[in-house]
Amino acid sequence: MKTIEQVVKMPKRADFRMHAHVNPLNETLFPYPLNYTHVDWSNHYPQKFGKDPLKLYLNTLEYPISYVNPVEQQYYDFNVDFLDIGCGFGGLSFALSRKYPDKYTFGMEIRGKLVNFIGEKIRALRAQNECFNVSVIRTNAMRHLPQYFRKGSIEKIFICFPDPHFKKKNHRRRIVNPGLLSEYAYILKPKGRIYCITDVEDLHNWHVEHLEQHKMFKKIDHTDDETAALIWNSTEEGQKVERNKGSKFIIVCERI
């Protein structure tokens, strides 16, 4: 008789390839909640709520979610600790879940195939009694972030190696801009932190400029921040930059 570990197979990245980028300004064609009272966190962290940890709800075609009705308070009255925006293949999300087993990490990614890969990897690891504190969802964070989280609920936000959108006409697609920074400040706890890392110096300068100009953030010294050290090589993109001997630029800011 097969064990549950043998039945739940680990997904292969090669089976989940897709375009590197998606236009975040396009119309959202998948479900999203009206507000945080429509988000059932037991779908994402089922062990905490006494539910089946191997069932997936990813907001993809293969693993759909419905946001039609509000959920019971016991299921929406929950705070995620770490938010990984544009989580890619989930390298950082998994690293955070292992380093901080008492914290809940939530990845957001717009590309459905990548979300399915992360979700199926989470399921395989849960079958091995791991990763009950990490989850992922398909959504467009540039459009729907405040609809998932209440004010002052997140401890740390991570934005790692985002699309630089080099053309000036596409700068409005950048995941760091004045409007979105206000949304990040809204969902962060006081003294919560936002981490931005890139291998593009021009984009780093953009991050620094907009974060330093925003009245809700102040730049801090991250020398002794172990989480800042963790994001350096935890993402797949960061590891590729390391292999190619490229440069990396990071800024860490605290919510005032």
Catalytic residue IDs = 163
Whether the Cβ atoms of residue 28 and residue 82 lie closer than 8 Å to each other? no
Burial of residue 35 (CB within 10 Å: 0-12, 13-18, 19+) is middle
Q: What's the start-to-end Cα distance of the chain, in Å?
A: 57
Alpha helix (H) residue ranges in the chain? 4-7, 73-76, 91-99, 112-127, 141-144, 178-187, 201-213, 226-234, 236-243
Whether the Cβ atoms of residue 232 and residue 197 lie closer than 8 Å to each other? yes
Contacts of 113 (CB under 8 A, 6+ apart): 16, 17, 18
For 169-205, letters b (16+ CB in 10 Å) and e give: eeeebbbbeeebbeebbbbbeeebbbbbbbbbeebbe
Q: Identify the DSSP state of 25.
A: T
Whether the Cβ atoms of residue 253 and residue 220 lie closer than 8 Å to each other? yes
Q: How many CB atoms lie within 10 A of CB 231?
A: 27
